[in-house]
Each structure stands twice: as C-alpha cells, then as structure tokens.
Amino acid sequence: MRILVTGGLGFIGSRLVDDLVALDHEVVVLDSVADHVHAVDPDYRNPGAEHVVADVRDPDAWLAALAGVDAVSHQAARVGLGVSPADVRGYVGDNGVGTAVGLWAMHEVGFAGRFVLASSMVVYGEGAYTCPVDGPVRPGPRSAERLEAGRFEPPCPHCGADLAPGLVDEGARLDPRNTYAATKLHQEHLATVFGRETGVPVTSLRYHNVFGPRMPRDTPYAGVAAIFRSALERGEAPQVFEDGGQRRDFVHVADVSAANVAALTAAEPLIGAANVASGTPHTVGDLAVALAAAMGGPPPVVTGRFRLGDVRHVTASPQRAADLLGFRASVGFDEGVAEFATAPLRAAP
C-alpha cells in the first residue's frame, strides 16, 4: 500500500514510518519539522520513505502528499496539555484547522482509502469508577481544597462515597478537560462526519500514556515518563505528584505503531474509536520506582504536590481493538521500562 503519515518525524509517527517501510509499504511523510518540536533536524529520518516538509495547515502540501495514496495516518498534532490559555490558538490551528485542511484535500482528490486518526485517552477526562451505592459513575474535576488536604481520590458525584477505579471503554461519556483534549475530540468529530459524508472508513485510535524511544525530553508539554527519565539523568530523584497512586496505562510506542499498522491494513477497517492500551495499568509511583531502579538513580520522592487539571485514574479496556483489529500489546511494563532507561530521546527545543 501507499500510505501517507502526517507527523512522520514525531515520536509515534517516526516509529510507524519505520515499521511500515519494513513491511514494504510505500510511505509518504508530511511533517513540518517545526522549530518548537525539533531542536535539531531528526537523525532518524527513514530513507525508505518520501518526505514532504510542510505544515498540515498547507492545502497544497496535502494535495501533493495525497497523490496515489491508499491510506492516511494522521499523527501530526500539537501535543501535551497546554500550559496557558494563550496556547489555544496553536492547538486549534495545528489540530483542528490542520485536520480540516486534510479532510478538505482528501475530498478534493476523491480519496477513497482509510483514514486513521491519532486520538487520545484525554477525551475521556476522568476514568471510569464504581460507587458501592450508585454503581458506575464518572466523577467531575477534583477541587483544589480536596487536593490541598491530600485527598486525591475523587468522590462519588452523587453520594460522596469512596470509589473503585475501573476501565474506560469507548462508549464512556467524553469529557475533555483541557485545550489539547478539546482539539483531539474535535478532530474525532470532524473525521467521523467526513467518514459519514464520503464513505471513507475512519478509525480514531485513543492512545493511552505512550512511552519509548524518541519520546520528547523534559518540556512543560512532556509526558511523565520523559520527565522522570530526564530527572534521573541529571542525578535527581523523580518528583512524584499526589501520593503516587494515580493509575495510568503506559503503552510502548512499538505497540502503538502496531495498532496503527493493524488499523491501516486489517482486512476490515475498524469504524469509530478504539483504545490503544497495554491493558495492564500501573501507578505513576510504580513507574518512578521501576525507572529509578533501571537507571540506578535515586529513589523517587513522593511530593504530595498536584496539578489542578490532572485526572486521578484513567485506564482502559483494550478489548475493542483486540476484537476488531486483532491488536494486543506485546511489550510488558518491565521490559519497556528497562529499554526506556537507555533509549534515545528527542532533544527539547
């Protein structure tokens, strides 16, 4: 197949490009190599792929890159949580407008292949919980007062009881809580509408907490695994927020790439959303301990500090991707963390 990968020089996109080239697909990369993403020109540019250096908001770049393409993997995005309200224009421009321009271009060229979107678990907001009294519930944002008092678990929104965290599935109510999350959901909605209007099969892969080689280094927008690794490299202890008991699904980039390959090439397309997760949740404290041990660094410090916008637990059922794409994560947590301890990271700009 001839496959267009936008953001094909990014953390996840570049892994996908390598895997698709290794599988003998023809790959076209559309990537802007933006200064605010790449401190230096990436040294891992795959020579087996064609490279178009342009912004996803550029209509002509999309039209050129789409020539002869059988499937599109839209990985290009401004990532992270957003650190200031001033970030809103950048997120909506890169993620919302960039996707809209791509959909427009696909319509212009009569694209009839598959469209696979890199979405995120952030569209769920807080995870799924069970209340002993009220059954399944989805708590709202935690109050500053509660967090300052060290009460990190969200209470039942109906009766205030303690909750048991569970797994979100794709039918869960969506509750984006930051600018990035709102633009990821907007991308899903735009792509879904486009799919209905044109018959193009649209798959939204909701990535959980991805880690692995080429992860961007410590920046205000970086994920916790890169932040912990960067601290340990400086000889400093990882700073664990809250009490370290917050649960996430840390999924290796090799598995996220494999899920994309499956979505692009499976006999039947998966229409709609699918979680991309390991299926084996871990706490942030677990991650800090495992990484500190793997790097022979100082043990983590559990700070009790918190970020008001953070959710407590968000872990996923990977069942839909398993049933419809045959995707199952293959990199175990211990193995992934051991590799990540020495994996090359992308320099921060």
Span interacting with ligand UD1, options 143-151, 158-166, 237-245, 271-279, rule CB under 6 A: 237-245
Single out the residue of 120, 179, 183, 278 in contact with ligand UD1 (rule: CB under 6 A): 120
Is the CB of 20 or the CB of 123 nearer to ligand UD1?
A: 123
**Site track 188-207 with ligand UD1 (rule: CB under 6 A), x = hit:** -------------------x
- Residue pair 34/79 in contact (Cβ under 8 Å)? The answer is no
Provide, rounded to whole angstroms, the least separation between the CB of residue 75 and ligand UD1.
13
Task: Put residue 184 in one of left, alpha, beta given phi > 0 → left and psi -120 to 50 → alpha.
Answer: alpha
Among residues 239 and 319, whose Cβ is nearest to ligand UD1? Answer: 239
Q: Say how far apart CA 84 and CA 211 lie, in whole Å.
A: 24
Smallest CA-to-CA distance from 220 within 82, 95, 88 is with 82
* Segment holding 105, helix H or strand E: helix 98-108
Q: Is 209 in the site for ligand UD1 (CB under 6 A)?
A: yes
Tokens found for residue 36: 């605010």
Among 198, 219, 239, 283, binds ligand UD1 (CB under 6 A): 239
Residues 16 to 55 in contact with ligand UD1, rule: CB under 6 A: none
Q: Where are the alpha helices (DSSP H) in 199-279?
A: 224-233, 253-265
Mark the segment that binds ligand UD1 (CB under 6 A) among 2-10, 96-104, 114-122, 165-173: 114-122
User: In this complex, which beta carbon is closest to ligand UD1, that of residue 49 or of residue 81?
Assistant: 81
Residue 211 engages ligand UD1 in binding (rule: CB under 6 A)? no
- Interface with ligand UD1 includes 246 (CB under 6 A)? yes
Residue 23: partners with Cβ closer than 8 Å, 6 or more residues away? 261
Nearer to ligand UD1, 198 or 219 (CB): 219
**Contact call for residue 215 and ligand UD1 (CB under 6 A):** no
Cite the active site residues: 180
Minimum distance of ligand UD1 from residue 156's CB (angstroms): 21
- Nearer CB in complex with ligand UD1: 55/310: 310
Taking the C-alpha atoms of residue 205 and residue 221, their distance in angstroms, rounded to an integer, is 21
340 by Cβ neighbours in 10 Å (0-12 / 13-18 / 19+) ranks as buried
Q: Of 345, 77, 59, nearest to 218 (Cα)?
A: 345
Residues 6+ apart with CB under 8 A from 96: 183, 186, 187, 190
The residue ranges that bind ligand UD1 (CB under 6 A) are: 79-81, 120-122, 180, 207-210, 221, 223-224, 227, 239-241, 246, 248, 284, 307, 310
